[in-house]
Amino acid sequence: MPREKKTEIITLRVTPRTKAVIQARAKSVNKTVTDYLCLCGLGKEIVQVDGLDKVLSELKAQGRNLNQLTTLANMGKVKILRGDTLADKYGAICEQLRQLLREVT
C-alpha cells in the first residue's frame, strides 16, 4: 500500500517549554515531532515495542540463511530434509511480525 504524500502544512505557535516537552515525548517513543503530533491529533494510541529492531534484524539474517540453503539445495550441493516445513514456519513468523507492526503503527 503506497503512502499518501504529505502536502498540507499546519502552523502552530507554542511556548519554548511546550516545544521542549513535545520534542522530548516524541523522542521517547522514537517518533518525529510531526509523526508524534499527527498520531496524538488523530487520537491514536502510541505503542512502543522495545527490542523489535533486534528481532527484525535476526529474522532478516535467518531469511538470508534460508535463501542460501535453498540455492545450495537447488544446485544439488546440500539436501534439506523437511525444507517445506521450515519455510512454512518461517513464513508464519514473518506474518505474525507483520500483524504486530500493523497493530502498533
Indicate if the pLDDT at residue 104 is higher than 70.
Answer: no
The whole-number pLDDT of residue 40 equals 92
Q: Which positions ≥6 away from 93 have C-beta within 8 Å?
A: 59
The whole-number pLDDT of residue 26 equals 94
Q: Which positions ≥6 away from 44 have C-beta within 8 Å?
A: none
pLDDT, one tens digit per residue, over 8-66 is 999 999 999 999 999 999 999 889 999 999 999 988 887 777 777 788 788 888 888 88
Give the residue from 68, 67, 70 showing the smallest Cα distance to 79: 70
Region of poorest pLDDT, from 9-18, 69-78, 82-91: 82-91
The whole-number pLDDT of residue 105 equals 60
Higher pLDDT, 27 or 91: 27
Q: What is the pTM of this model?
A: 0.50
The whole-number pLDDT of residue 85 equals 80
The whole-number pLDDT of residue 98 equals 82
The whole-number pLDDT of residue 62 equals 82
